[in-house]
Amino acid sequence: QGQLVESGGGTVQAGGSLKLSCELSGNSAGSRCMAWFRQGPDNKREAVAVIDGDGTTNYADSVEGRFTISKDNAKKTLYLEMNGLNSADSAKYYCASDKWGCTLINGLPSLVQHDYTYWGQGTQVTVSS
């Protein structure tokens, strides 16, 4: 059984930064495709960033240039560094992973066309103005 545990959420002022972590264990530890999603007050789930087994990344337009997804295979941890936060970034953030490589669209891991096997419970990020 695989498990993902997120941490690092909290309340931050607009313009501030946070770094989220997602620890993988069990069967999820061997995941190749990993991603961060968020779900805001409208309950719509949005893919934020994805990283493939070879390190190729892709970002939603809304976070491009502000967020960075990375991973430490030795620590079995996925990260999301978030800078320049604004109120639109307030949401519950979830990590997801899959043992298979990411679905590629034009050579980039797709943000939307992939079914993830493992999901975390989420960590809340609130940006105050």
Q: What is the pLDDT averaged over residues 28-52?
A: 93
* Per-residue pLDDT at 31 exceeds 90: no
Residue 8 gets the label, from left (phi > 0), alpha (psi -120 to 50) or beta, of: left
pLDDT at position 44, please? 93
pLDDT higher than threshold 90 for residue 109: yes
pLDDT in tens, 111-121: 987 889 999 99
- pLDDT mean across residues, the chain: 94
Average pLDDT over residues 89-99: 96
- Which of 19, 9, 10, 3 has its CA nearest to residue 81? 19
Closest of 50, 65, 25 to residue 110, by C-alpha: 50
Torsion sign (Cα): 51, 43, 26, 74? positive
Mean pLDDT of 104-128: 92
Q: What is the mean pLDDT of residues 16-33?
A: 92
- Whole-angstrom Cα distance, residue 86 to residue 64? 13
Percent of the chain with pLDDT over 70: 100
Per-residue pLDDT, 110: 92
